[in-house]
Amino acid sequence: MLPAVKTAVQNRPAAPRLPLAIALLVPALLAACVYRMPIRQGNYLDPAAVAQVRPGMTHSQVRFLLGTPMVPGGFDNARWDYDYYLDEGHLLHQQRAHVTVYFSHNLVTRVVSDVRSPPVTTVMHGGVKYPVPF
């Protein structure tokens, strides 16, 4: 290199790094602000409806109260399983519930349930209440 050019290149101030940092940081921050829709899977399990299922009820009465089971007995119709799962996004809040109805001679013999509260129907995101799709 020529001495004059070499001196000019060496004396040039360093390129400002702030615009580059902003150009890289802004997309990363915007990616964190993406709305993720809640994912609901399974049967809507209302504690009031689950509490109404009693021994002695028929299959059709249980289906009327709880709906079609998520996991019906493939070869044996003596057990119906109802599952519920809600992921509100980012795996921060999950809600799970499970009900098993046992039958004998086409009548309910017992109900096993861990349903304590009704499923979430709305979620808050950024101070705004959104309905959870079914």
3-state secondary structure (DSSP) of residue 17: coil
Q: List pLDDT tens digits, range 38-83.
A: 666 777 788 888 889 999 999 999 999 998 887 666 677 788 888 8
The HSE-up count of residue 124 (CA atoms within 13 Å, CB side) is 2
pTM of the complete model beyond 0.85: no
Question: Is residue 20 over pLDDT 90?
Answer: no
Distance CA 98, CA 113 (A): 6
Percent of the chain at pLDDT above 90? 17
Distance CA 83, CA 70 (A): 6
Q: Which residue ranges form the domains of the chain, and what is each CATH number?
A: 3-32 (no CATH), 39-131 (3.30.1450)
Distance CA 40, CA 119 (A): 10
Distance CA 94, CA 100 (A): 20
* Per-residue confidence (pLDDT) for residue 134, from 0 to 100: 47
CB 50 within 8 A of CB 111: yes
Distance CA 115, CA 47 (A): 6
Element (H, E) at 11: helix 3-11
3-state secondary structure (DSSP) of residue 20: helix
* Residue 44: closest CA among 86, 80, 87, 93: 86
